[in-house]
Amino acid sequence: MNASKPRAPRTEDNRAGQPRLRVCTYNIHKGFSQFNRRMVIHELRERLRTLDADIVFLQEVQGLHVRHSARHADWPQRPQHEFLAEDFWLQTAYGGNAVYDHGHHGNAILSRYPILSAHNQDISDHAFERRGLLHCEIALPGRADPVHCACIHLGLTGGTRRRQMQAIVERMHTLAGGKARLIIAGDFNDWRNRADDQLCDSLGVIEAFAGERGRPARSFPATLPVLRLDRIYVRGFQVESAQSHYGLPWSKISDHAALTAQLAPL
């Protein structure tokens, strides 16, 4: 695939005439390799495009960093989500969560389909670890109702994650209640696999790799994953396939594996 050209429309449709949806979640480590050894945002852009995803959920996206811009001659002049999406994904949404003197970073969603609305909700549990829930409504061909997409990056302690997942449940009940189609993806930092107990039972979602009750994919570290940190939860879709992208060359551009899932609307 020529990554410099816009994507052609997807032609593989299900029996109802609606396009299958390929989604990806990826913690991009602010555009730096593992242990921050080198800046890899250009390589990451080319590698991300090979996954041919319709909707991409990104975490640790650098919206602005004045010091990196001054230090690296090839540092993108635009926010990372805009740089990654250029000429390939139609629209983007960004939610800045961690704000500091020299910049900010957060979550982003890239979409080849129109983003109808976007809102970032602060779900931080304390002042020292800023987290957000980026919610978008995305219009898909062949359906009048949009798909609700939530990109998240949860905290590092169990208690924090439980409270943040409860905030996600409450927010999704408000915004995507009933049987609305829903995708929740991101870095859950949930190596104990407790997210299912809150999300699956409360929202009726299934995890793309685990099904109704199973084990999510190992996704960290990207060299040879051991911990199951990243997830793709869906409702209103059939999961046709799911894949974890780790090892070379992925381990050169982030400490997390990228996860993809092929979905067919129900």
* pLDDT tens track for 197-234: 889 989 999 999 987 667 899 999 999 999 999 999 99
pLDDT of residue 98: 63
Instruction: Give the residue extent of every domain in the chain.
Output: 21-265
pLDDT of residue 6: 44
* Mean local confidence (pLDDT), 34-46: 84
pLDDT of residue 134: 96
CATH number of 21-265: 3.60.10.10
pLDDT band at 173 (very low <50, low <70, confident <90, very high): very high
Asked if the model's pLDDT at residue 8 lies above 50, the reply is no
pLDDT of residue 104: 63
Which of the pair, 141 or 229, is modelled with greater confidence? 229
Range with the poorest average pLDDT among 18-22, 47-51, 128-132:
128-132
Range with the poorest average pLDDT among 41-50, 145-154, 171-180:
171-180
Which of the pair, 131 or 37, is modelled with greater confidence? 131
Choose among 112, 106, 111, 119: nearest CA to 152. Answer: 106
Asked if the model's pLDDT at residue 10 lies above 70, the reply is no
Range with the poorest average pLDDT among 66-80, 106-120, 246-260:
66-80
* Chain segment 68-107, per-residue pLDDT in tens: 665 766 778 888 999 999 999 999 999 888 666 766 678 9
Looking at every residue in the chain, the average pLDDT score rounds to 86
pLDDT of residue 126: 81
